[in-house]
Amino acid sequence: MASVSKESAVSYMPGMDPAKGGKFYLGAKNIEKGADFTHADQYYTPLAKYDATRKLGDGQIEFIDEGVTMVREAERAIRSGNIDETSLSNITVIQLLREVIRREYRKFFAIEGTRRVPVPKLQLDVPITDKYAASKKVPEFVEPDQKTNKFTLANLRLWKNMVSIYESDEAQLKADIQPLNFEIDQAAGALGLAANDQIVTEVETFTTTTEADWATMTTNADFSANNPLDDIQAVITTITGNHFRPDVIALHPRPLSDFLSNTFVNGYATAMDRTMESGFPLPKVPQLKVVQDLGFTNTVATIYDSNTLLLGEGPTTAEAFRNPLQSADGWVIRQWLHPLKTTNDAGRKMTVVSA
């Protein structure tokens, strides 16, 4: 990669459905503009659209407005031999951000058990109401019980995770391969791991219920001693009784393997395979989606309603800079987020299901 003068910044803001994509804007969050992306197109200069559902080279990045002009200026600069251009820097930062966003969660799956919420102002208050029961079989001329909602606010207050990338001219000019590609991989992995750990920590704060080890066998070692289906059904009954609909079971590969090999689940033939995949229906309990990740504690399994596990997502920004005294190029990447459990009633963490 050519060494260019870097005094540029680009921000990425997820759209209404963060899983589908968002937009790139010129500049980092600006305090003078209220650090607010609520009306981003009004206060910030849009450069490109990012469509996560498309493949690279097939419309994943679509330059718009000033971004089109930026690309043309960069092309003219390349043809004239002038690589000391801000537009070139901005394109580089967009490429870096795109790669970080695209690669970030590819090896981490805890995010699959969250409801992703765009938070354009770094904070958002979500009203949560208590659940109450209806009056049943009300007789004629009898008033039903009077109900009043009690609202509480779930406070999303985003924090930032950061990674700094620094490459000397020597590293970039001597390398047979582009070192920035490896730096982007490391940055994406580091940010993904940080966010994944924070989501896992929040998931595992649900109220605990102690169960039995799903891998324990009977005296003759010919049949499982404990039935995980009974444990799961009891937890689902509790959560449903609280007026929530559990749809996720989040766990480490070890308890999932114990579940899949349990003879109450598979009969007398125990399963020998161990899957590392995520996102499939739990066998025998298909209403629950398996969210499997190595970050979860390897002795527990958490069942919950994913609508109550919010992942507030703010912008991801990348700023590029040049240190001429050290002959090095640098990038600082910041990601704002906050995983938040809105209520304890919507889930239960089953402990000691694996030992």
DSSP codes joined into one string, 129-187:
E---PPPPSPPTT-PPPP----EEEEEEE-EEEEEEEEEEHHHHHH-SS-HHHHHHHHH
DSSP 8-state class, residue 189: H
* pLDDT at 200 (0 to 100): 97
Query: Where do runs of H (alpha helix) occur along the chain?
Result: 40-43, 66-80, 86-103, 169-174, 179-203, 228-241, 253-261, 263-266
Angle between helical axes of 66-80 and 86-103 (0-180°, round to 10) = 120
What is residue 305's three-state secondary structure? coil
pLDDT for the residue numbered 208: 97
How many whole angstroms separate alpha carbon 176 and alpha carbon 265? Answer: 53
Helix (H, G, I), strand (E, B) or coil at 253: helix
- Bridge partners, 209 (sequence order): 350
CATH 3.40.190.10 assigned to 205-309+345-351: no
Phi/psi for 244 (5° steps) reads: -115, 160
Q: Check residue 2 and give its pLDDT.
A: 36
Domain segments of the chain as ranges: 7-123+155-202+311-339, 205-309+345-351
Q: What is the pLDDT of residue 317?
A: 87
The CA distance from 237 to 242, in Å, is: 9
| Distance from chain centroid for Cα 349 | 20
Distance CA 257, CA 236 (A): 21
**CA dist., res. 332 & res. 169, Å (int):** 17
**In this predicted structure, what is the pLDDT of residue 349?**
98
Ranges of residues in the chain with a pLDDT under 50 are 1-6, 31-32, 177
User: What 8-state DSSP symbol labels residue 207?
Assistant: P
For residue 131, the one-letter residue type is K
3-state helix, strand, coil in the chain (%, to 5): 30, 30, 40
